[in-house]
Structure 1
Amino acid sequence: MSYKIIQWGTGAVGKHALRAVLDDPDMQLVGVKVYSEQKVGLDAGTLCDRPETGVKAVLDQSQLPLMDADCILYMPMLPDYEEIANLLRAGINVVTTAANMYPKAYGEEVFNNLNQAALEGKSVFHGSGINPAFMSDVLPLTLSGMSHRVSKIIVQEVSDVHVYASQAPEIMMDNIGFGKTPEEALRPDNPFLEWMSAYFHESMYMLAEHMQVKLDRIEPHHEVAVANNAVQLGNDLVIEAGSVACRRFEWRGIINGKDAIVLRTFWKTTLDIEPAWAVDSNKEVEWTVTVEGTPSYQAKVEVCASFDPLNVMCGKGGEDAAVIGTAMHAINAIPVVCKAAPGVRTFLDLPIIASHGAFR
């Protein structure tokens, strides 16, 4: 079966998704929505280093062939719930990487509005991602299925983000705070970081609800470290000495008064930092998922371009690979989503999502 796709957003993740759609013989690109005036009118192939396709990028969604699409890959920086609901109500399936793998975390009103819109349009809404998402909920839930009792779940990510910081400075520099003073980076009134925290909270609520427990509360514990020397990024960006070069985010889900679910991310551009944090991974990107219980399990997942020792990229390219993985989990969900019953469908509602392009 061939799926007609609209790519909605062509940022760091959206660009990889667009490329994957063009490379997939079972998918046909019918439209591209962009958010930058500079991209308007550009061919889809030009936006993702592929040959010209004849599909031009548009800013105004009224210029998109919405009714021709089987699915929209919705990948803006932040979700617009009214916009999503209108698309669902029009009968178009929506797969997004803009959070929302567990919309119930945002309250019954958000969930009910999305679900009702999907039911009215006989469409499906599905949120996808790698972390938060697969690594922080699907994988620990799966591991917990082999334990009689579970006392604690810890998910830790260690990522070298110097490439992503140069690819998406509007996220990493402007909003996350790399290159800023510690005071600026840690200011409490940061709407983007509030959204990011809510995004990680989704995984906690999914874990807790599926394991039939209730969170007392979620406690944030965030830190920054500054560069001892200037850090050169791509695209002529520089993190000056004394500016934030590493961030550690931690969210603790409290159950019965104890730290029960801990989601921790360590994002680094250098380790020449103050304070000199100890980092228990030298990989470009690595997740450690620990399920403490009876018995206990720990899984380490590294991502890179290749593990083949004969490949020149063996063990390299982890940061870019993680971004590609985020896009591909959404791409691979399309066949499953298009066959699913209408409504909001999370990972808990769908079959296992596997590679759509395996062994070709």
Structure 2
Amino acid sequence: MQLKLDLQFFAGEKTEKATPKKRQDSRKKGQVAKSQDINTAFLLFFCFLLLSVFGSNMGSGLTALYKTAFTEYIHWDLTESNVHQVFVEGTIETAKIIAPIMGIAIVAGLVSNFTQIGFLFTTEPLKIDLKKLDPIQGAKRIFSARALVELAKSLFKIVFMGLITFGLIWFYKDDMMMISFKTAESALSFFGQITIIMGIAAALTLLFIAVFDYAYQKFDFEKNIKMSKNDIKDEHKNMEGDPLIKSKIKEKQRQMAARRMMSEVPTADVVITNPTHFAIAIKYDEAKASAPFVVAKGMDHTALRIKEIAKKNHVMTVENRQLARALYSAIDIGNSIPEEYFQAVAEVLAYVYRLEKKV
């Protein structure tokens, strides 16, 4: 009894790699190995790279908007049409300035996700799941091993990024001390350059950390989708169908085929018997075939049913043990009589026709 329980325990333990179907089902649910740090690193890097190239133009655009606001708009009368015009023009100019940032952010997000998981569109994660509101399950997630790993990872990122930022500030500390001797425009330009350098450095650092995070996410994902031996058996059973159900379907199909076969017996010209073990119903119809063909056959109980139906419908029964056994083994239902049995079957049919006065 104990051995049986141990076997059941090991069979239910998730030790097997996920099957392709399991992976496909998980992917449809939105469960994939993905590092959010890679998305953030791509986003930061491309945004700051864009600022380094087009930052001066964006700054000029903002300056022009401020000049227009405080040299032209400020003198306009406060009317509904003027407010509407200011709002429209300001929105358009602001959109022109931030459009490159928004565009590169969308592209970076798509590229980072496509790089990790390829193309995936699913609405499964958006479905309402009341289990997520369970406070007990929520507490388990908060104090789980994964939560501790995420906490340690966040602390490491904060410390590492802080060191990078502090190092850059320390490197440029002498230039910062001289800011008071520069114009406001020069000071803003200097701090803009420092900010871009810090942003790109932070993005590259985060990307370096994200490589290890992705490896961990991949490992954790593979661990979570592992299957037990019972899971694999159940999946195989579901894919091929339950053997019990399949056997019932086959039995139903055999019964339907038997009923169709029995319905053809009344149309036969003769039933050749063994006399008890085999029964072969034969029909000759020149419009359907050039040779006699089998409309029904069976052995034992089925043979008995064929003879009973033949008797009720006045179909002649002829006993020929050797011929009945040979035809049963050699011919399937619906097939014509082979050439080697033409003479024997023809003699039987001729005998039947004579008795029925058909010739």
Structure holding more strand per residue: 1
